[in-house]
Structure 1
Amino acid sequence: MRRAALILLVLLVVALAVLAQVMDVPDGAALRSWVDGAGWAAPFVFTGVCALGTAVFFPKPVLATAAGLLFGIGWGSALAVAGFTAGAMIAFAVARGLGRDTVKGWLGERLRVIETVFARRGVEATLVIRLLPVVPFTLANYGAGVTAVKARDFALGTALGLVPSTVLAAVLGDALSDLGSPRSLVALAIWGVLAVAGVWWGRNLITAAARAA
């Protein structure tokens, strides 16, 4: 039964990833139309779209950039972070329920080190994966669900880790008409610095865990 649940989880993730690739992604005009049509409920609608979109592999940068376009940098970033965190927890809960018990019995020595990092320093480990642009956001959410990270640590690490990238995407969205502007160039440079910091931080966490093992 546990193996069947894990297979179901893998099939679900693959199906959602494929669906995200073949579906039509709405552009900024379509998203603005949806939000305008929602009236006073627009913030709640957008947050819900972010949550559901995150859980089903909808491109997060599209939503984060749209947040800046539709609501401005401050308000848009707050709504996007709330929605992304909620969506991350949906994916986390699904993976935790379907795959955790099976995966923990298959861990090799190398993976046990990573498991130790997530178990003991869950907030930091989650922050690291949020700073790495090469790690797909939604895939990381499902992957974290089968690790030993505590749900509250994952939620906190996700919320904190989302702030820099979401604000930067909102800045780019707010200045979408002028991507060559100094503000946009600075935002992209900061994004690169954060990625390098994430790699360095992650290596330190794994090295420390390996030495302690």
Structure 2
Amino acid sequence: MSCTWRVLLSLCLLSMACPEPLQQQGETFATSLRFSRKILTRVRNLLFQYKEQLMGDSQFEDRLTMLRSLPVLGVGYSQWRSMEDKDRLTAAAQDLKVFWDHLDVKRIQLKEESKRQSSTVVTAMQNIQMDLRDLIAQVHSQLQAMNATVPAPREEEIPSSLMVPTLEWHSKLMGYIILRDLDRYMNKVVRDYILLKVKYRE
């Protein structure tokens, strides 16, 4: 076999062997992107419903009050863009689990509180938890496909202000903050998957 034929054969084999894993990974990122957008829509709908029914005003806004046990959202564009893929996914897996834990506390509180509380809010919150659980599983699978270590959940302590709120208004405000920050975080997850989808389909 001539040298030219060897080169051509090698290129053919390479073109058949290499793109497939990347294409498959790109497809999983595209699936997670669609799912993340669905979750974001659900979170926004619930946030509107929560503000309307529990805060008494669908236009309620509080951009200053923070809950320190929730993931930090302030990542600059250059830092975000330069992150390695596995680090991006690892952070998402850990942070989404933190949001799941906080939602679980708030959902149980709402369920146990007065029957005046809307059961539709509790049901919507539970549905979002199920979606987050499935998205976390997708992230874990993607990390395994990269031969990266699946992260252990962060040992985040739920603050006593959320576990045992002293005032009814404060309890409602904590729920609002969780949903508000989850809305923002899901925006970041969507951007992550847009980037990964494009990168792995190039």
Query: What is the TM-score with the length of structure 1 in the denominator?
Result: 0.34
Indicate the structure with greater helix content. 1
Larger Rg: 2
Query: What is the TM-score with the length of structure 2 in the denominator?
Result: 0.35
